[in-house]
Amino acid sequence: MTRIAILGPGLLGGSIALAMESLPGAEIRLWGRRAEVLEEAARRGIGAFHSTRLCEVVDGADIVVACVPVGVMEGVIREALPALGTKTLVTDVGSVKGTVVRVLGPLLEGKALFVGSHPMAGSEKTGLDAARADLFQGSVCIVTPEPATSPEAVTKASLFWEKLGCRVRQLDPVVHDQVCARISHVPHVAAAALVNAVAQRCPEAFGFSGPGFRDTTRVAGGAPSMWTEILLSNREAVSQGLRALVDQLEEVIALLEQNEGSVSAPLDAFLSAAKQRRDQLRLR
Amino acid sequence: MTRIAILGPGLLGGSIALAMESLPGAEIRLWGRRAEVLEEAARRGIGAFHSTRLCEVVDGADIVVACVPVGVMEGVIREALPALGTKTLVTDVGSVKGTVVRVLGPLLEGKALFVGSHPMAGSEKTGLDAARADLFQGSVCIVTPEPATSPEAVTKASLFWEKLGCRVRQLDPVVHDQVCARISHVPHVAAAALVNAVAQRCPEAFGFSGPGFRDTTRVAGGAPSMWTEILLSNREAVSQGLRALVDQLEEVIALLEQNEGSVSAPLDAFLSAAKQRRDQLRLR
């Protein structure tokens, strides 16, 4: 029997619980701050043990998965410290890893096995209601060891995510944050900026939007408080990525403003380069 | 029997032909520059008459739909002039309307009924192979009369698009171009710029992209030559829209660089405003 403590029964924590429960030999224990969410989980049959007392839930756990916002991660893990064993695997699901690993690594050294994780699954919905057992099936989970990370932690965490249906890959936490800035955080800001630019200057245009606009801006439906925290936690890489995006847009503005005709080889080259890379993505 | 001449059997022209043929009382005639595409259409049973000679196809037509690139529209319609009747409806499917209407309006005055159209249906695929009979079902078609446009042209064009399954709406051609810049042309450039920014500075990130990045950049898979022409034909509105987008992005960069903490009310407000507008879109 593997005892798994899930801290925070939201979309990710709830989905981990649902997915794990369909596997044999797992005992799921849920901690949350709000009793009503735990009661809801119990009503839906998610988890075998529920408590708002952190150490009660963590006690005797083989694996502790912190599914709480990045900003409260340190406080939650600090509170759980007395109940952790040196062989307990502690991992998290935060979208930003540099800050989390920098804090939790030293805090847990010698007290538990720790490695950061980022399961790249989710939706623009949040909360236990949106949780589903197949959320992780076929998705990528990035495990982020540092040089000092115990190989045992990496192995345990990798096996855990694979059981949930993830393909596991490894990245250094800082590289992870740069990568995620480019493929997730900057696109999120771009989607929100596209919506806001229409709202401010041409709101009647929303009434004519089709599937293209809808897809391009879908991620802007994500939870603002969560995304504010993600962007601020990764501010340097995001701001760098946004500058790179602005440079690209300025390039197109210059091409449009310099050109009087109906052909432009550099603009065609710009769009062709993007299409070629995008088409490769579709094939994977 | 309504005789419909379709000029250019690509994605849109081919789809109009396929959709019209399932309706009784329509005779579909296809013109294209390349004989092999017309042969392919004939092989697939699309259209009752095929020719590379424009006047032969247009002769006696009740409705002429120009499905050719915006840049060659004038030349094609000029060539068809001798075969048009004063009660023939001429319309087009161009994504940009200001330039088209400015040229075709005077050219066709007194020689045929003319109004511009923009069926907002399509895909990132192009060509006859991608054509399908249900392409227009449930989509919006914008008809773009000017003050001088004959009401008869507007009525005929509206009925035509409704038969294809479109919801028809009207916009002044210049307003149409501003609206489309905001909801289609600027998002297209943004998608391409997002891809190119990753490619230039952090290509390894593509390997970690998930559904969010894929949706946000999907439209960047569109045909570069077609999009180059669209952007150049609508350069003023697009460049204005891109500047508005850059302003929004600069606002976020400033918020990230000024902020040292893990909360930012203005950033949260920025993301909340976008979410609220985006959620309304989902409900429609």
- pLDDT of B244 higher than 90: yes
- pLDDT of A143 higher than 90: yes
Q: Which of A184, A215, A224 sits opposite B218 (nearest CB)?
A: A215
B22-32: pLDDT as tens digits = 888 899 999 99
Question: Is A212–B184 a contact, with Cβ atoms under 8 angstroms apart?
Answer: yes
Instruction: Confirm if B84 and B109 have CB atoms less than 8 A apart.
Output: no
Higher pLDDT, A194 or A1: A194
List CB contacts (< 8 A) between B209 and chain A.
183, 281
- pLDDT of B212 higher than 80: yes
CA torsion angle for A132, A133, A137, A142 (degrees, to 10)?
80
pLDDT of residue A43: 94
A47-63: pLDDT as tens digits = 999 999 999 999 999 99
CA B155 – CA A123 distance, rounded (Å): 44
A138 touches chain B (CB under 8 A): no
Least confident span in A156-165, B5-14, B122-131: B122-131
pLDDT of residue B201: 85
B70-103: pLDDT as tens digits = 889 999 999 999 999 999 999 999 999 999 999 9
CA torsion angle for A65, A71, A77, A80 (degrees, to 10)?
-100
pLDDT of residue B281: 87
pLDDT of residue B272: 98
Q: Report chain B's mean pLDDT, rounded to a whole number.
A: 94
Q: What is the mean pLDDT of residues A4-29?
A: 94
pLDDT of residue B210: 83
- pLDDT of A24 higher than 90: no
Q: Is the dihedral of CA B24, B27, B32, B34 positive or negative?
A: positive
Q: Is the dihedral of CA B159, B161, B166, B172 positive or negative?
A: negative
Instruction: Confirm if B10 and B65 have CB atoms less than 8 A apart.
Output: no
Q: What is the mean pLDDT of residues A269-274?
A: 98
Which of the four pLDDT bands, split at 50, 70 and 90, describes residue A283? low
pLDDT of residue A117: 97
Write out residues 83-122 of B within 8 Å (CB-CB) of A. Answer: 120-121
Q: Which of B191, B209, B253 sits opposite A242 (nearest CB)?
A: B253
Which of the four pLDDT bands, split at 50, 70 and 90, describes residue A176? very high
B78 touches chain A (CB under 8 A): no
Instruction: Confirm if A224 and B272 have CB atoms less than 8 A apart.
Output: yes
Instruction: Confirm if A92 and A73 have CB atoms less than 8 A apart.
Output: yes
List CB contacts (< 8 A) between A232 and chain B.
256, 259, 261-264, 267
Residue A49 burial (CB < 10 Å; 0-12/13-18/19+)?
Answer: middle
Which of the four pLDDT bands, split at 50, 70 and 90, describes residue A201? confident
Helix or strand holding residue A154 (H, E): helix A151-163
β-bridge pairing A140-144 and A116-119: antiparallel
B92-134: pLDDT as tens digits = 999 999 999 999 999 999 999 999 999 998 766 788 999 999 9
- pLDDT of B283 higher than 70: no
For residue A30, give the 3-state DSSP assignment. Answer: strand
Q: Full-prediction pTM beyond 0.90? A: no
Q: Report chain A's mean pLDDT, rounded to a whole number.
A: 94
Write out residues 145-204 of A within 8 Å (CB-CB) of B. Answer: 169, 171, 178-180, 182-184, 186-202, 204
